[in-house]
């Protein structure tokens, strides 16, 4: 075992290491000769979705002890999707880097990854892939369904809805407080099909969790049992030497994309899956997502695309049941951390509600998890979730209304004299990985107040930003290259005609090439707001959205040597 390099030799260094285990209160029987299992815990007092993780870490430890391992809990960057600014995405790669280096620098043989809130999932997994120690993921699980009077509330989706009612004067102060108190009423992640639910489900489909783990509500006692079982299994993974590299094959990633499309998952999953795949040395491109989206129908009926919430998905059989429906689209031989193959997982699964997990021949949408558009406005691609859009807007040409920054948009979008019609295409520039920075979830650009008052609820919106998985509308996202690095999005001016044709996967700026070249010649990059520290590293190293926004020096599989132990 790897940890034996620290503890076993008969030398001065190991004598020191062993004496320090005694200092921690562990006898030789407790620790030595056992697999050391790191429990990487993304708990913090400002991580609202992981409130149960201190207790759950104890559940994991119990399982590690039971199986004859030595559990060590280590805190890692907590990344609250709500509280971390400018956006948790800005720090996903920092978490990944931290995970990799914590594992490398310590006497650790296997790892339990505890995450759930949006960016914690890819951050933990990307780091674990790069270090490639036996690893198992313990998802935080969804929070309880929300409640306001007789209504069931969904995270995010109902926040926008009730906030609009508040703006329209239909919700008094008292009712607003009741929504505030009822929409997030337990630990656990957003219980709509946002990024957290999407990534947890994909993680299970990739084979990185125990069977059925992704959908167990955070406060369900089954969640504690799953955590303990994961601890036990982590020890066995070390003895079996089953590593992420044996699980995360090209076929596994394909299964992940199939699952994403059937969920109508968050558009963020595209960026994360590409980043994870590249860490694993698997080529995965936007074209793979577009191709698979044409083949796989949306069958999971969860908000915002559908009507149900995560605990309904769980009660309907969860991810194994979904995978059983998707059987014709899946590579069944892929291995899982539980020890069985995806085919074996499916064999034991049953769909318990055809309303929550629709049959393939009665889907929520025939296709359309996420489509990829290309054209002179997005030479490297951009994405749209057609199920979230009003169908009439999926083929549309209109004049651009351009905002250079989010501050510009915020300052002007609700002005009474804004020159805008329902046919306009709202464009936000400089909201991408470098521009914002960190590519925040600004992509569901607000509808101008003037149009809201006319009853308009959707229009074409284009940006280089991301969008929350709980959002909706005709939003073209992840435009690449982004405006801040000189992508054509930077050259759009008010009144330019923009055409989108989603069926044809086309996005076109109706401006002549010569004119665009002339505009490019006078374009200069916006000034960088951050010039030191982590921000500088991010701005210098982030890749663009189609490449996963990883740091270029972290991609790929060249092995970093194990540390010397002297
Ligand atoms: Fe944590 Fe949504 S805020 S998952
Ligand atoms: Mg989010």
For a ligand 1 pocket test, name from 52, 87, 91, 118 the mutation site with the most ligand atoms within 8 angstroms of its C-beta. Answer: 118
| DSSP string across 445-513 | PPPPHHHHHTT-----EEESS---TT--SSEEB--SS-GGGT-GGGG--TT-EEEEETTTTEEEEES-H
CA atoms within 13 A on the CB side of 457: 11
> Does 437 sit behind a cis peptide bond, omega within 30 degrees of 0 on the bond before it?
yes
The CATH number of the domain covering residues in 371-522: 3.50.30.80
C-alpha 168 – ligand 2 centre gap (Å): 25
Nearest ligand, CA of residue 466? 2
Per-domain residue ranges of the chain: 34-144+186-346, 146-183, 371-522
Q: Which ligand 1 atom is nearest residue 470's CA?
A: 2
As given in the structure block, the two tokens for residue 362 are: 């009665």
pLDDT for 557 equals: 66
Pocket test for ligand 1, best of 120, 190, 440 (most atoms within 8 A of CB): 190
Ligand nearest to the CA of 89: 2
Quick check: bond before 531 cis, omega within 30?
Answer: no
| Beta strands 135-139 and 110-115, pairing class | parallel
Q: What does the alpha-carbon distance between residue 108 and residue 340 come to, in Å, rounded to a whole number?
A: 25
Closest CA to ligand 1's atom 3: 81
Which residues are in the CB-under-5-Å shell of ion ligand 2? 81, 118, 195, 468
Contact 370, 291 (CB under 8 A): no
Residue 566 has a pLDDT of 85
- Give 148's strand partners: 151
Give the E-state strand segments of 253-387 in sequence order. Answer: 371-375, 378-384
For ligand 1, which residues put their CB under 6 angstroms from it?
49, 81-82, 117-118, 155, 189-190, 194, 196
Cα-atom radius of gyration of the chain, to the nearest Å?
Answer: 24
Q: Whose CA is nearest to atom 2 of ligand 1?
A: 190
How far apart CA 456 and CA 220 sit, in angstroms, is 41
- CB contact at 8 A, 208 and 243: no
Predicted complex ipTM: 0.91
pLDDT tens figures, 64-92: 999 999 999 999 999 999 999 999 999 99
Atom of ligand 1 nearest to the CA of 116: 4
Q: Measured in angstroms, how far is the CA atom of residue 122 from the centroid of ligand 2?
A: 13
Q: 425 CA distance to ligand 1 centroid (A)?
A: 30
Answer yes or no: is pLDDT of 529 > 90.
Answer: no
Residue ranges of E strands in 95-177: 110-115, 135-139, 146-148, 151-153
pLDDT per position as a tens digit, 424-456: 999 999 999 999 999 999 999 999 988 988 889
Per-residue pLDDT band at 519 (split at 50, 70, 90): very high
Task: Supply 225's token pair.
Answer: 């049992």
The atom number, within ligand 1, closest to the CA of 47 reads 1
Length of the chain: 566
Q: Ligand 1, from 42, 49, 441: best to mutate by most atoms within 8 Å of Cβ?
A: 49
Ligand 2 centroid to Cα of residue 107, in Å, is 34
pTM passes above 0.90: yes
* pLDDT for res 558: 66
pLDDT tens-digit series, residues 150-194? 999 999 888 888 887 887 788 899 999 999 999 999 999 999 999
Q: What is the residue-wise DSSP string for 30-50?
A: HHTTS-EEEEEE---TT-GGG
DSSP sequence for 185-247: -SSSB-SSSSHHHHHHHHHHHHT-S-TTGGGS-TTSHHHHHHHHHHHHHHHHHHHHT--HHHH
* Average of per-residue pLDDT across 33-43: 97
pLDDT band at 556 (very low <50, low <70, confident <90, very high): confident
CA distance 69 to 258: 35
Q: How close is the Cα of 27 to the center of ligand 2, in Å?
A: 44
Mean pLDDT, the chain, whole residue set? 96
90-116 pLDDT tens trace: 999 999 999 999 999 999 999 999 999
CA distances from 178 to 101, 148, 187 (A): 44, 6, 18
Q: Which atom of ligand 1 is nearest to the CA of 189?
A: 4
């Amino acid at each position: 075992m790897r940890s034996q390099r620290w503890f076993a030799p008969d030398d001065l260094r190991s004598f020191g290491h062993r004496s320090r285990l005694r200092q921690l209160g562990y006898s030789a029987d407790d620790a030595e000769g056992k697999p050391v299992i790191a429990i990487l815990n993304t708990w913090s007092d400002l991580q609202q979705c992981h409130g149960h993780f201190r207790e759950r870490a104890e559940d994991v430890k119990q399982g590690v002890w039971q199986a004859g391992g030595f559990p060590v809990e280590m805190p890692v960057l907590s990344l609250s999707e709500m509280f971390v600014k400018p956006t948790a995405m800005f720090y996903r790669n920092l978490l990944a880097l931290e995970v990799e280096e914590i594992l490398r620098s310590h006497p650790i043989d296997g790892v339990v990854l505890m995450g759930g809130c949006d960016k914690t999932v890819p951050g933990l997994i990307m780091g674990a892939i790069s270090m490639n120690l036996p690893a198992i993921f313990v998802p935080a699980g969804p929070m309880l369904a929300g409640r306001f009077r007789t209504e069931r509330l969904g995270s995010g989706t109902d926040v926008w809805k009730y906030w609009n009612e508040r703006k329209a004067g239909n919700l008094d102060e008292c009712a607003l407080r009741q929504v505030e108190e009822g929409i997030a009423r337990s630990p656990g992640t957003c219980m709509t099909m946002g990024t957290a639910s999407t990534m947890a489900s994909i993680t299970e489909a990739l084979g990185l969790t125990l069977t059925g783990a992704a959908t167990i509500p955070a406060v369900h006692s089954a969640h504690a049992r799953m955590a303990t079982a994961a601890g036990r299994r982590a020890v066995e993974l070390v003895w079996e030497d089953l590593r992420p590299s044996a699980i995360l094959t090209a076929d596994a990633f394909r299964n992940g994309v199939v699952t994403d499309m059937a969920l109508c998952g968050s558009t963020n999953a595209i960026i994360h899956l590409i980043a994870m795949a590249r860490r694993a040395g698997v080529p995965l491109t936007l074209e793979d997502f577009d191709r698979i989206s044409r083949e796989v129908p949306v069958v999971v009926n969860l908000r915002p695309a559908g009507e149900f919430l995560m605990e309904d998905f769980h009660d309907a059989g969860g991810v194994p049941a979904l995978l059983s429906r998707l059987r014709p689209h899946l590579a069944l031989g892929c291995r899982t951390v539980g020890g069985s193959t995806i085919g074996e997982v499916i064999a034991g699964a049953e769909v318990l509600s055809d309303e929550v997990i629709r049959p393939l021949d009665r889907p929520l949408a025939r296709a359309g998890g996420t489509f990829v558009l290309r054209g002179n406005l997005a030479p490297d691609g951009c994405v749209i979730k057609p199920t979230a859009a009003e169908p009439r807007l999926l083929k549309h040409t209109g004049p651009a209304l351009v905002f250079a920054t989010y501050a510009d948009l915020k300052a002007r979008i609700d002005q009474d004299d804004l020159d805008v019609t329902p046919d306009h295409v709202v464009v936000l520039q400089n909201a991408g990985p470098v521009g914002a920075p960190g590519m925040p979830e600004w992509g569901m650009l607000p509808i101008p107040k003037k149009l809201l008052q006319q009853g308009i609820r959707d229009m074409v919106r284009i940006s280089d930003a991301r969008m929350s998985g709980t959002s909706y509308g005709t939003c073209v996202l992840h435009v690449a290259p982004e405006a801040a690095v000189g992508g054509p999005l930077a050259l759009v001016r008010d009144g330019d005609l923009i055409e989108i044709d989603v069926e044809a996967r086309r996005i076109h700026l109706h401006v002549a090439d010569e004119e665009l070249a002339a505009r490019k010649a006078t374009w200069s990059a916006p000034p960088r707001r951050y010039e030191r520290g982590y921000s500088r590293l991010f701005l210098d190293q982030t890749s663009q959205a189609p490449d996963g926004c990883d740091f270029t020096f972290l991609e790929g599989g060249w092995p970093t040597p194990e540390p010397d132990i002297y």
